Every structure is written in structure tokens, then in C-alpha cells.
Amino acid sequence: MIDHALDHALERVAAAEVLLVASDYDGVLSPIVADPARAIPHPDGLAAFVSVSTHQRVRSVLISGRSPETLGSFVGSPVGIRLVGNHGAGAHGSIDEKGEFTIAAITDGLAGVAERFPGTEVEPKSLGAAFHYRNAADPVGAAEAARAVVSRFDARTIHGKQVVEVVVGHGTKGTAVEAIRTETGADAAIYFGDDVTDEDVFRTLTEPDVGVKVGNGDTAAAYRVRGPDEVAEALTVLDGYLTQGR
């Protein structure tokens, strides 16, 4: 159950004239699972996010490390919800031929590591690749080998929850949220995130914004919930306050 401090913050931010509601996907609107391809959305969480997005004063965005296409395959195409992939780099345009070559080389290099370490998997992405070692027989060795490969390239490396990701291109989740809030004219924002990449967003937030960390770990967010169940609860509460303020 969410605490009183977060409940009060949700009531306060719901009074914004234009509110940006943004969230990560994995670990927030979907539980973390062993197989990334099976990360189906929390039914109550996605339903609440969609309901929040129907309010005229709300602008909504999901920002994920996945490609927008993969993200869309999980959540569909709800009206009014913008999908941004590749940890925010997808909000900053396309890449050139050199970038495409780099992505191919990184993906090939990580595929070679996956062949050597059973239980690992390479997830190709439009602006990079992700090396998953959650199910590896030797997770430490697999992670070290993957990091050695990606360190040879001029690209941004992200060390997530049992995954090594590399992104070719500029932008972070933080710069994506800032750009979208400027574009939409939002005077307040709320963001839900569970990963290290979400800290880029939390560090950009100021009053009256609300940052909500999902799960354990150090964070710059002012508020915290335990998991997707409480994310769903918080979104439902926010939806109620938005309805009252119509």
C-alpha cells in the first residue's frame, strides 16, 4: 500500500494545468522476468496508466530500454501514449551509416560471447543491443566478457539488472523527458522508474514534480513503492485525483 506522503504528492501534482506522466516499462508496469520476451504488462498497472492518459490535461509517455516496436508489442497502441525506446536515445532522431556499422559490430561481438556462455542471450535493438545474463551458468564471467566487447566501441554502455546494454546515439531518459515536457508545455511531471537509467530522469525533477523509485536501491527520487502492484495503486490514486479536478 502506498504511503501518505506519496498520496499527498499525487494529489498535489494532479492539480497541474498540464501534467506529464512518464514511466519505465520493465520492473514498473511489468514484473522483471527471466525471459525478457515474456515481460507482459501488469494488467492493473497498464489499465491505470491508460486511464490516466485519457484526461485532457495529461500527456503520457513510456520510456524503455526496448525498441519502440518491441514496447508496442507488449502494450499495444493506446491512444495518447507516446512510446520512446532505447533509453531515450530514440527521441533524438536516427543514426548515420557509421552508427549502423557500429551496432552491427557490437551485436556480432556479443553474439560470440553468448555462444561461449550458456544461458545468455543477445537482444538486438534499433540503436544498439542488450546482453542478458540473468540465466547464465557463469553470470560473472559472462558479464565480464560482454563488457570487454562493448568497451572497444564508441557507444554508451548501461549496466542494468543482469544485463549489459549498449546504445549508439545521443540522449538519455532524462533528456528525453526534458524534451517532451518542453514540447508539451507540461508544468509538472511524475515519473516511475526502477533502473539505474531512470536516475537520469529523477535528477532532472524539481518541485512540483514527483519522482517514484520502484523497488530497492539508492535513488534521487523523493518517493518509493515496492513493485508493480504499488505502481498500479499509485496510478489508480492519481487517476482518481485527476477525475476530481476535472
Residue 35's pLDDT band, with cuts at 50, 70 and 90, is confident
163 and 175 share a domain? no
Residue 93's pLDDT band, with cuts at 50, 70 and 90, is low
Distances from the Cα of 107 to the Cα of 124, 130, 175, angstroms = 7, 8, 25
Q: Please tell me the chain's helix, strand, coil percentages from 3-state DSSP, rounded to the nearest 5.
A: 45, 20, 35
pLDDT at 40: 94
198 and 158 share a domain? no
32 and 126 share a domain? no
Residue 90's pLDDT band, with cuts at 50, 70 and 90, is low
pLDDT at 46: 96
pLDDT at 94: 57
Query: pLDDT, tens digit, for every residue of 119-176?
Result: 999 998 878 899 999 999 999 999 999 999 999 988 888 888 899 988 887 678 998 8
Residues whose CB falls within 8 Å of the CB of residue 176, separated by 6 or more in sequence, listed in order? 61, 63, 84, 88, 90, 91, 92
- Domain end marker among 120, 138, 167: 167
pLDDT at 41: 95
**What's the one-letter identity of residue 199?**
E
120 and 199 share a domain? no
How many helices (H) and strands (E) the chain has is answered by 8, 10
Residue range(s) defining the domain that contains residue 81: 4-92+171-244
